[in-house]
Amino acid sequence: MPTMRDRFAAVTTRLLDEDPRLALVLADISADRFTAAAAAHPDRVLNVGIREQLMVSVAGGLALTGLRPVVHTFASFLVERAFEQVKLDLDHQDAAAVLVSALGSYDWPEGGRTHQAPGDVALMDTLSGWTVHVPGHPDEAEVLLRDAVASDDRVYVRLSAQQNAAARPVAPGRFTPVRQGSAGTVVAVGPMLDAVLAAVEGLDVSVLYAATVRPFDGAALRAATEGAADVVLVEPYLAGTSVPFAAQALEDRPHRLLGLGVARAELRRYGTMADHLAAHGLDPRSLRARISGFLPLPV
Amino acid sequence: MTLTSESARLGHRDLPRLMALMTGDEKHGPAATSTLDVLWVLYDRVLRVTPETADAPDRDRFLLSKGHGPMAYYAVLAAKGFLDPALLSGFGGFDSPLGYHPDRVLVPGVEISSGSLGHGLPLGVGTALGLRAQGLTDSRVWVLTGDAELDEGSNQEAAAYAGAVGLEALHTVVVDNSSATHGRRGGIAARFAAEGWSVLTADGRDHEALAEAFTAPHPGRPHAVVAVVEPKH
């Protein structure tokens, strides 16, 4: 099955042809997917080698001259390793870029902790003004990537090898209602949607789909929770990352919140993505138990 | 943009008076004065940028990477008309645009916000690449670094890459006041030369020698000037 990362390479290659303002900065990772683009645009497809700090700083410099940089590597190296460059060479310079990551939290379990970044979105939350997209399907990734490139905003696009069977119509920045219920609301972020829908089958709950988590669509959450402000957030990164944002959206009404996601403790196991999802309680069976235990469902 | 009739007349001899208007950051005094002559020669003789062209796409860029001790920088910017000399006395104040580390959003003519060491040269690489990608091949990028700042590994990433791709528009002047805690085996010049840079060493107080080193041709290679000044300690 083609992945979001495949789509990112194809779409970015086309956008480089169409938009002379666009530049792509790489640090070896995925460079093999851009050989044709690099040949066509040697001054705008820049592979700096295994130098992630430089990769982000170069994006800052490019932006200062008026270009629109897209920066890509694995989340652990893009956001965590080069975080001060993100903070100072983009934000503090009042410069902008589109950061596009791969591997996420558990995409390559055999690779171990060094290639897992469940804390990336929480880390980006320490900055201000970043849009964060977490698409759940290659079609959604394309919509959100094109939107990001066309804007002048600072945007983080988090791509994963985990994806839903079908794409949803996504509007950048908006949560989408997927199903209606009366006993509470589950917000499924990006690749978590299929597991959430399987988990709540037959349960009287609403499901909201979020392919953009920052800004957090508090209005959609308020609209979905008019009857019952009991909310479960299911995120494919650190559990609870969006809980403060949901709490803020619901601050003027009584509410209960449960944040599900990747555990903070290092798992220190290899195996498969399915193994890791189960270990974090993000498989449909575990999710059903956690959700039905929290929401006031009729017994 | 403020270009006062007074500042249009100011010269190198006025810099001590302008610097004296800024008080409170004496801890960084040695860092500030070490850069004074280098900054003056760059702005007076080398950089093709004026207050009128401070936003022109094809201007030369000066990036102060060693952002601490910016009094000499602010004094030169004031002398050259980029900022009103009357602002200098507010240095470090809540309502002043002039902090102990410069902020490009607050000060006209300041190309980067700096303070954390090791960001200027990598930003300079990106700036030079961005100019090249837009066909602005006559614009040059100058980054002022310090010898101790080269301890930061990010500079190594930038120097190695710029040398490897022959980034001719990129220049750095390393103000060497012997302040790196562990020194540098083989010297600063050898380090840049090994990465494929053109390198010259000059007396950091000798304006003629600096101007000559700054303007030496370096086809197909980035250019580093090691400007040696009196040791910090």
- Residue-wise pLDDT tens digits, B149-181: 999 999 999 999 999 999 999 999 999 999 999
Residue A290: what pLDDT?
98
Domain that holds residue A47: 4-158
Instruction: List all residues of chain B from 170 to 209 with a beta carbon under 8 Å from chain A.
Output: none
For residue B2, being part of any structural domain is answered with: no
Judge if A201 and A288 occupy the same domain.
yes
What single letter denotes the amino acid at residue A281?
Answer: G
What would the two tokens of residue B49 be?
A: 């940028």
CATH of the domain at B218: 3.40.50.970
B78 to chain A, minimum CA–CA distance in Å? 22
Judge if A43 and A154 occupy the same domain.
yes
Choose the final residue of a domain: A110, A130, A158. A158
Interface test with chain B among A24, A25, A41, A53, by most B beta carbons within 10 Å: A53
- Cα A168 from Cα A16, distance rounded (Å): 26
Which residues, 6 or more positions from A42, have their beta carbon under 8 angstroms from its beta carbon?
Answer: none
Residue A1: what pLDDT?
84
What would the two tokens of residue A150 be?
A: 């066309």
B1: pLDDT strictly greater than 50:
no
For residue A169, being part of any structural domain is answered with: no
Write the ipTM: 0.96
Task: Please give the C-alpha separations between residue A147 and each of A93, A155, A251, B5, B102, in angstroms, as whole numbers.
Answer: 23, 10, 31, 48, 33
- Cα A133 from Cα A148, distance rounded (Å): 9
Neighbours of A202 (CB within 10 A): 6
Residue A151: what pLDDT?
98
Judge if A147 and A246 occupy the same domain.
no
Residue B122: what pLDDT?
98
Percent of chain A with pLDDT over 90: 97
Domain that holds residue B186: 7-228
What would the two tokens of residue B21 be?
A: 């208007």
Number of domains in chain B: 1
Q: What is the mean pLDDT of chain B?
A: 94
B43: pLDDT strictly greater than 90:
yes
Looking at residue A82, what DSSP letter applies?
T
CATH of the domain at A248: 3.40.50.920
Backbone angles phi, psi at B107, to 5 degrees: -120, 120
For residue B13, being part of any structural domain is answered with: yes
| Residue B126 at interface with chain A, using a CB cutoff of 8 Å | yes
For residue A299, being part of any structural domain is answered with: no
Percent of chain B with pLDDT over 90: 89
For residue B107, being part of any structural domain is answered with: yes
C-beta atoms of B57 and A65 within 8 A: yes
B57, B105, B157 ranked by CB distance to A54: nearest: B157
CATH of the domain at A107: 3.40.50.970
Which residues, 6 or more positions from B17, have their beta carbon under 8 angstroms from its beta carbon?
Answer: none
Judge if A11 and A147 occupy the same domain.
yes
A227: pLDDT strictly greater than 70:
no
Cis previous bond, A215, omega within 30:
yes
B16: pLDDT strictly greater than 50:
yes
Looking at residue A35, what DSSP letter applies?
H
Residue B2: what pLDDT?
47
| 3-state secondary structure at position A94 | coil
B117 to chain A, minimum CA–CA distance in Å? 11
| Residue A44 at interface with chain B, using a CB cutoff of 8 Å | yes
Side-chain-side CA neighbours of B49 within 13 Å: the count stands at 25
- Measured N-to-C along each axis, helices B120-133 and B153-164 cross at an angle, to the nearest 10 degrees, of 30
A18: pLDDT strictly greater than 70:
yes
B127: pLDDT strictly greater than 80:
yes
Residue of B nearest to A52 (CA): B157
In the 3-class helix/strand/coil scheme, how is A241-298 assigned residue by residue? CCHHHHHHHCCCCCCEEEEEEECCCCCCCCCCHHHHHHHCCCCHHHHHHHHHHHCCCC
Residue B32: what pLDDT?
73
Helix (H) or strand (E) holding B141: strand B141-146
Bridge partners, residue B30, by sequence: none
- Residue-wise pLDDT tens digits, B103-119: 999 999 999 999 999 99
Q: Contacts of residue B105 in chain A, CB cutoff 8 Å?
A: 94
- Residue-wise pLDDT tens digits, A133-180: 999 999 999 999 999 999 999 999 999 999 999 999 999 999 999 999
Judge if A134 and A226 occupy the same domain.
no
Task: Please give the C-alpha separations between residue B89 and each of B21, B32, B84, B86, in angstroms, as whole numbers.
Answer: 5, 16, 11, 7
| Residue B157 at interface with chain A, using a CB cutoff of 8 Å | yes
| Residue B88 at interface with chain A, using a CB cutoff of 8 Å | no
Task: Please give the C-alpha separations between residue A136 and each of A11, A260, B178, B179, in angstroms, as whole numbers.
Answer: 16, 17, 54, 52
Q: Where are the alpha helices (DSSP H) in chain B?
A: 15-20, 29-34, 36-41, 71-79, 120-133, 153-164, 188-194, 207-214
B24: pLDDT strictly greater than 80:
no
For residue B88, being part of any structural domain is answered with: yes
- Cα A185 from Cα A169, distance rounded (Å): 20
Q: Name the one residue in this structure whose structure tokens are 């839903």.
A: A164
Judge if A150 and A59 occupy the same domain.
yes
For residue B136, being part of any structural domain is answered with: yes
In the 3-class helix/strand/coil scheme, how is A118-153 assigned residue by residue? CCHHHHHCCCCCEEEECCCCHHHHHHHHHHHHHCCC
Bridge partners, residue B142, by sequence: B62, B171
For residue B1, being part of any structural domain is answered with: no
For residue B179, being part of any structural domain is answered with: yes
| Residue B161 at interface with chain A, using a CB cutoff of 8 Å | yes
Residue B28: what pLDDT?
67
Judge if A150 and A43 occupy the same domain.
yes
